[in-house]
Amino acid sequence: MPSTQRPAVTAHVALGANLGDAAQTLRDALQALAHTPGLRLDKASALYRTAPVDSDGPDYVNAVARVETWLTAPALLAVLQGWEQHFGRERPHRNAPRTLDLDLLLYGAARVESPALTVPHPRMWDRAFVLVPLAEISPTLVSADALRTVEGQRIERAADLGW
């Protein structure tokens, strides 16, 4: 690593989609992240099907990726939003169905509060579609108590769905 480069930070990114071939979009998005300068895809969860939360439309396909990054948190957010646009993300209204949603969940142990970014993600602890795949790839980050708080939310592992 060049001496001018920042040390790597482990970040976690939630992926979700419910328009088009959502499962393929998530696979393609993971490949895009794996080839993004400043990132190294370390691990990705299985794909999960979940009911929309605070939204409408068809079921979502969700996953979580763990990346090593040399980008700042705001720069990583900009990269994620660029990939959303590349995959056709539109924002006609809050929580609209989407071709791709990429959320920065965690950026190391950092806490970020700005108009554009809050880390840790403010609603991650309320959502099975985040906690279950996050626990799969980084089990020390999600307690059994946290998983119990979301156990009433429907979530099905893709392997169980024949994907």
Active-site positions?
A: 89, 98, 101, 103
Phi, psi of 52, deg, nearest 5: -60, 140
- In three-state secondary structure terms, 42 is strand
Q: Is the dihedral of CA 102, 40, 134, 31 positive or negative?
A: positive
Q: Which residues are CB-contacts of 150 (< 8 A; sequence separation ≥ 6)?
A: 126, 127, 128, 131, 132
Residue 56's alpha-carbon distances to 59, 60, 124, in angstroms, are 9, 10, 19
